[in-house]
Structure 1
Amino acid sequence: MKAGSPARRGPKPKLDTRDNLIRAGLKTIHAGGFTATGIQDIVDIADVPKGSFYNHFASKETFGAEVIDTYSTLGQQRLRTFLCDPGMPPLARLQAYFDDRIEAFAANAYARGCLMGNFSAEAADHSAVIREHLVTQWDAWSGIFESCIAQAQREGAIDDRRSAALLARFMFNSWEGALLRMRVEKNGAALAEFKDVIFGMVLAPRQQA
């Protein structure tokens, strides 16, 4: 190139392509499922060439694992805004969180449910990579619930005959099952029953002597 000649200008690289693909994956997979969502669907929404997908992800399977992690991280941020609120008693925080989620699912016509639950039902039997990521994220969520329940036990709000870890896993497992039933029935009956049993029996306030 001769001195003083203008530099050639080409299209600027999209530095956020990877994030755009993950956001597109969150949207399409949550709406249509992992198996039914093709890579072409994802790149079309992200508005990137199909080859760009493989510049960032080795396979659709590894991409799905990244989508799970991103979804989980976003969900945990919301979870902590409720369960780590020092201005509310622990049981009130838990109830406020589930009330918020029930309202959100109602506003969405009881569709989609939890993306991690959807992945568990659809892909966990067929992908070790996805299964490993799900196990890690389920444990992370359960740990946040466990901390809140443990505080309620320390404060004497609920009894401690069963460990906070066990109660957290049972509550979380029950919630995910209720979400699957919700999607089938397209109403909030299973979610209301979940709240009634969990807060009326499993995490019922300790009776004063």
Structure 2
Amino acid sequence: MARPSVSVQIFASALKLFHEKGFNASSVQDITEDAGMQKGSLYNHYGSKEDLAAKVIDHYGRLSERHSLLADESVAPLDRLDRYFQALNKMVTASAFARGCLLGNFSAELPSQSLLIREHLSAIYSSWMSAIEKAVTGGQADGSITRELPARQLATALLGAREGAALRAKVGRDHNALSAFMSVILRRTLA
């Protein structure tokens, strides 16, 4: 089996370390050591740690499993949203609450430090919002989701509440905030 390329190894190490430790606590040295590379390797392939972080954000924001759950129109819209957010919550609990959501973690840590990171996060959140809004609109059309509020407003509330719940789960190291999100925000707010 062929060994992964240097850029792939650095990327994988950065994704892991940024998720585990955050951007500021993950030095270029940490990333390249984890990848088994020399420190200069990162700069040869990514230009800077910030450029690498932007690519990690873009990759993480487009994870296919999440989007396929939300886009599966063979499933009723409210059920799609439920499955989608359950899958996100499993990602948080699978790490024993140590990781949280990488996008949420970066959002809490970096927007005031890096315009590049803020722009990439904003683009991913916009795409994410559109996908959630589409499912909410479908649920409003079939009557399973309230029409009292516009789909965009409901999608905004869902995304904000879920990201907040993921951060709280990480801090509390338990599922209480995620469970509250699912039972109160997702199921009762949309009903």
TM-score by length of 1: 0.84
Q: Which residue of 2 aligns with 1:176?
A: 163
Q: Which residue of 2 aligns with 1:155?
A: 142
**Residue 52 of structure 2 corresponds to residue 31 of structure 1:** no
- Give the Cα–Cα distance (whole angstroms) in 1 for the partners of residues 101 and 90 of structure 2: 14
- Give the Cα–Cα distance (whole angstroms) in 1 for the partners of residues 146 and 49 of structure 2: 46
**Alpha-carbon deviations, 1:131-167, whole Å to 9, x = none?**
1111111111111111111111111222323221111
Q: Which residue of 2 aligns with 1:164?
A: 151
Q: Which moved more, 1:63-72 or 1:96-105?
A: 96-105
- Give the Cα–Cα distance (whole angstroms) in 2 for the partners of residues 101 and 27 of structure 1: 17
Q: Which has the higher helix share?
A: 2
> Which residue identity is paired with 1:28?
L
Q: Among residues 118, 133, 153, which one is paired with 1:146 in the alignment?
A: 133
- Give the Cα–Cα distance (whole angstroms) in 2 for the partners of residues 91 and 61 of structure 1: 37
Q: Which residue of 2 aligns with 1:55?
A: 44
**Alpha-carbon deviations, 1:14-41, whole Å to 9, x = none?**
8822222111100011111110101111
- Give the Cα–Cα distance (whole angstroms) in 1 for the partners of residues 33 and 103 of structure 2: 23
Q: Which residue of 1 aligns with 2:55?
A: 66
**Alpha-carbon deviations, 1:109-150, whole Å to 9, x = none?**
112100011111111111111111111111111111111111
Q: Which runs of 4+ in 1 moved over 3 A?
A: none
1:1-150 correspondence runs (5 A): 16-74=5-63, 77-150=64-137
TM-score by length of 2: 0.92
> Which residue identity is paired with 2:52?
F
- Give the Cα–Cα distance (whole angstroms) in 2 for the partners of residues 186 and 94 of structure 1: 24
Between the two proteins, the alignment pairs up a number of residues equal to: 189
